[in-house]
């Protein structure tokens, strides 16, 4: 009799679980029929994190759609488009390189898989100052492929960062109060220290979409980037000058060494397999505001040896391309008015601890 009762209880529990699973599947299928993906089903109900929302007007979005979208992008970006097709990965970082293997554009791709048009399209995020040149490049490489490009001025891009920096290490999505207004909400693919990326209509205010959200100054977003040592845009990654591996592309999960050929691959793959990277973009603290320094100004050791080049910054935080042999030494450079400025480079906490990880 006890066995019969146990079996009956187990059967009822299993049936209840299957019923709940079917309800979840039904909700998921209904969500996939709408133009905007829903995010409400996997939202945390506790441990609420207070967020700072940063508008990113210096970044723009380009729609790339058509049946050849994946194969087209596969041939011109450093990362593997096959990874973006997986359900678990909806955002991916990559660079578009020149034929000589130097960085032209740093981009983030967002998958729109699940939209009713069935085109497997993506949104491409890039620096706003290069929108004309990147559109031209995409059209040049299009040839006869069935792929279309268009700017998305009706969409708005936001970065979401916890006000408490220690909370950024969490994996839970921000608590969304209006899921129907969210087109994309994904963790920044470069490092979890950069929080979350959100794409909505320009008509929507983040307060209407995300709970416990406070809109903050974009300058604070850049200050955070420079503090942790993450390059973004043409000032940090000069087009045609920056090298992808020196720019920490591997550390930001932005490259695949197992995919097929792509433009600029030869030099990048050769450098990777030799294992010799003598310079890296690193965060620096300076004795004078970054605004007084020229981009590309030469760095020197106290003994006068070449130590790299300054890139960009804000206030007394910035990024420089530093020779690793001198990374732990005090460095100096001349400001635009001829004053000697001292710098100190640091190794970011989010870099891999294993020195073999290039």
CB atoms within 10 A of CB 265: 17
Predicted confidence band of residue 167 (pLDDT cuts 50, 70, 90): low
More confident residue, 236 or 43: 236
User: Strand 213-216 vs strand 148-151: parallel, antiparallel, or unpaired?
Assistant: unpaired
pLDDT tens digit string along 28-50?
333 333 343 434 334 444 456 68
pLDDT tens digit string along 67-84?
999 999 999 999 999 999
Q: What are phi and psi of 353, to 5 degrees?
A: -80, -25
Predicted confidence band of residue 63 (pLDDT cuts 50, 70, 90): very high
Residue 84 backbone class (left: φ over 0; alpha: ψ -120 to 50; beta: rest):
alpha
Structural domains of the chain ordered from first start: 51-228 (3.30.1360.120), 278-352 (2.40.30.110)
Summarize the confidence of residues 179-208 as an average pLDDT: 91
Consecutive H or E run containing 333: strand 331-334
């Amino acid at each position: 009799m006890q066995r019969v009762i146990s079996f009956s209880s187990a059967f009822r529990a299993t049936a209840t679980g299957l019923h709940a699973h079917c309800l979840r599947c039904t909700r998921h299928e209904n969500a996939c029929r709408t133009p905007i993906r829903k995010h409400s089903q996997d939202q945390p109900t506790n441990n609420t994190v207070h967020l700072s929302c940063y508008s990113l007007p210096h970044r723009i979005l380009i729609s790339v759609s058509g049946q050849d979208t994946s194969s087209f992008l596969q041939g011109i970006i450093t990362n593997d488009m096959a990874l973006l097709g997986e359900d678990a990965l909806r955002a991916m970082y990559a660079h578009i390189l020149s034929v000589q293997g130097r960085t032209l554009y740093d981009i983030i791709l967002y998958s729109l898989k699940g939209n009713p048009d069935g085109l497997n399209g993506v949104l491409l995020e890039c620096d706003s100052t290069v929108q004309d040149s990147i559109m031209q490049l995409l059209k040049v490489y299009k040839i006869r492929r069935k792929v279309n490009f268009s700017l998305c001025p009706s969409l708005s891009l936001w970065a979401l960062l916890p006000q408490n920096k220690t909370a950024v290490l969490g994996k839970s999505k921000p608590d969304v109060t209006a899921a129907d207004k969210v087109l994309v909400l994904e963790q920044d693919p470069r490092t979890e220290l950069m929080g979350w990326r959100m794409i909505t209509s320009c008509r929507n205010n983040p307060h209407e979409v995300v709970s416990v959200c406070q809109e903050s100054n974009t300058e604070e977003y850049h200050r955070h980037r420079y503090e942790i040592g993450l390059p973004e845009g043409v000032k940090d990654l000069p087009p045609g000058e920056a090298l992808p591996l020196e720019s920490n592309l591997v550390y930001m999960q932005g490259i695949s060494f197992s995919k097929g050929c792509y433009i600029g691959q030869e030099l990048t793959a050769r450098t990777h397999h030799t294992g010799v990277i003598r310079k890296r973009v690193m965060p620096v603290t300076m004795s004078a505001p970054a605004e007084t320094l020229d981009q590309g100004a030469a760095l020197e050791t106290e003994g006068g040896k070449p130590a790299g080049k300054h890139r960009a910054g804000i206030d007394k935080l910035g990024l420089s391309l530093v020779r690793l042999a001198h990374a732990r030494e005090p460095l100096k450079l001349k400001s635009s008015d001829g004053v000697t400025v001292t710098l100190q480079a640091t190794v970011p906490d989010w870099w891999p601890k294993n020195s073999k990880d290039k």
